[in-house]
Amino acid sequence: MQNMIMNRRTLLSVSVVGLVGGIAGVGWLKAQESSADTATQTPTKKTMTDAIKLDPNPINIEPLELDKAQWQARLSEEAYYVLRKEGTERPFTSELNDEKRDGEFACAGCDLVLFKSNQKFDSGTGWPSFFDAVEGRVGTKRDFKLILPRTEYHCARCGGHQGHIFNDGPAPTNLRYCNNGVALKFIPA
């Protein structure tokens, strides 16, 4: 019995220390990201800070607002999970990951074109990846679901979750828009 109480106390202590360390790490990462962005910023390079400043409600795009039942009728179960519940599909499951034809990639929820084929690259991650988005077509927000901060992006028209932006993409932006394939549809040129 004494060992069980000690184990619970140890577990609680370790959990509290881990939580405090995680919170401190988030602050440290924000400071590092901020100083790295300003230290490496050049006129032709987009930074995560630039991506975060994108207008989430571009003035020329009419919002599409549907209720839960309308979204469920419009989308497959997996697309609903990703677009409306901010889920993530399994890697290497989307045919769009290998799509190499000329064309456009539109939001599967509302048909707004988010990416052009010349912005796509093979990241090796198992998800369709782009180094840039069509200007004004995505909005961003901070995501702390995995404790460490990430930048989530979504369709500017319907608010559908698309994926996350990372700083490990190719030039000229050095960004990787890591997109769920089920959240997109491909429109050949």
Residues that are catalytic: 178
Determine the 3-state secondary structure of 130 from DSSP: strand
> Are β-strands 113-116 and 103-107 bridged in parallel, bridged antiparallel, or unpaired?
antiparallel
For residue 84, the tally of other CB atoms under 10 A from its CB is 19
Task: Give yes or no for a contact between 86 and 53, defined as CB atoms under 8 angstroms apart.
Answer: no
Tokens matching residue 145: 């679901």
- Separation in Å, CA 117 to CA 5, 18, 45, 59, 136: 59, 43, 20, 25, 17
Tokens matching residue 186: 């491909």
Task: Give yes or no for a contact between 99 and 114, defined as CB atoms under 8 angstroms apart.
Answer: no
CA dihedral 16→21→26→29, nearest 10 degrees, is: -170
